[in-house]
Amino acid sequence: MGSISTSFNRRRNSLNFIRLVFALAVIVSHTWPLTGAGPEPMLGDMTLGHWSVAGFFAISGYLITASRMNDDSTLRYLWRRVLRIYPAYWVCIALVGLVAAPAVWYLSGHGGLGVYTRTDGGLAYIVKNATLFRGQADVAGTTIDGFPHSGEWNGSLWSLPFEFACYVIVAVLGVTAGLRKTKVPLCVTAVALLILNIIYQYGPLEMDSYYISRFLTFGLFFFGGAVLWALSDRLPLTWILAAASAVAMVVFAWLGVTEILSALPLAYVCIWLGEVLPLDSVGSVNDISYGVYLYAFPIQQLLVFAGMRYGGPWFFAFIAALSSVVVAYASCKLIEQPALRLKSWAPTRRPRNPQPGETPVGAGEVFTRP
């Protein structure tokens, strides 16, 4: 019975397939409110969409931490994270601000260049959202009339700043050689997030902050994956522990404490499935999961405008998923892969020798996203 570090193959696994499933599940989850069919489907105490995002964060926590702790160069690590997130993101918001929203504007009978030049127009949308933090949700009011989920062109982008914040924290934790020799800082960070989550949700402090709440919740899922990596040379990778983790998540969901206690079990189930599922060829060359996540929501808004919501939620979800896959493939080939070819353009230091079960940076490194 091998440990996770020796049993899990970082170069040949099905995690890209699992992330694609999560991205498609987000489409299904968003379909109900976007078509006016009702609230998002719930799985226990979290929506299907939030379960999927939690899975993204857990997988990222494991893989990103492994990549960081195998790389002595902080600048190189951050440069690769920037290349993975920003180019496709910038193109996405540019297409919304300059193409999708103006199409709705003109087809709705408006004229002029206001959709571009207004203080809430397309150009402002690009500038205000360029840093990942959303400074503007709509474009010139183009999603207000007739849209069940109005005032928001891309409701999926909320997770990206929290994901990138986790990348930065891992960068800091891996700065010194001393921290690399011990995995205690990772575990301490995870425990701190757990305690802060408990205090925030159940403690005496009366706080209501969107950014604090989302970061504590999904940051904990990220560091659940990071802790799993920290324990990977001691924990076995078996179906018994995967089944126990799945049962634990069902119990936690029933008790209403998924956000507090499910981070580590979810990470374990994802990594186990990534190893045992025979789907390692899916996304091994063209990983479209990030593109699906980026483009699905604005595509769904366009489908709503086109009247596709009247065909029922499942038909709508199918058309949205199919359209998103096509656009995501184009994003992968035209934007993401060319950007990642620049990954070696950064100040570098000689990477340390990989530990057993790790893959040297640059040799099939797996890039992750929310």
In order along its 370 residues, the chain shows pLDDT tens digits of: 688 989 998 888 999 999 999 999 999 999 999 999 999 999 999 999 999 999 999 999 999 999 888 877 889 999 999 999 999 999 999 999 999 999 999 999 999 999 999 999 999 999 999 999 989 999 999 998 767 777 899 999 999 999 999 999 999 988 865 556 678 888 999 999 999 999 888 877 666 788 888 999 999 999 999 999 999 999 999 999 999 999 999 999 999 999 999 999 999 999 999 999 999 999 889 999 999 999 999 999 999 999 898 889 999 999 999 999 999 999 999 999 999 999 887 555 544 444 444 433 333 333 344 4
Alpha helices in 118-159 (DSSP H): 122-128
Q: Which helix H or strand E contains 299, and what residues bound it?
A: helix 289-305
Q: What is the pLDDT of residue 177?
A: 53
- Rounded to two decimals, the pTM is 0.91
Check: CB of residue 283 under 8 Å from CB of residue 336.
no
Q: What is the pLDDT of residue 364?
A: 35
Question: Which residues have C-beta within 8 Å of that of residue 127, sequence separation ≥ 6?
Answer: 135
Check: CB of residue 238 under 8 Å from CB of residue 1.
yes
Check: CB of residue 14 under 8 Å from CB of residue 362.
no
Q: What is the pLDDT of residue 106?
A: 95
Q: What is the pLDDT of residue 147?
A: 76
**Which phi and psi (to 5°) does residue 105 adopt?**
-55, -50
* Burial class of residue 82 (count of CB atoms within 10 Å of its CB; 0-12, 13-18, 19+): middle
Matching residue, tokens 């990222």: 60
Q: What is the pLDDT of residue 152?
A: 92
| CB environment 156-194: b (16+ within 10 A), e (fewer) | bbbbbbbbbbbbebbbebbeeeeebeebebbeebbeebb
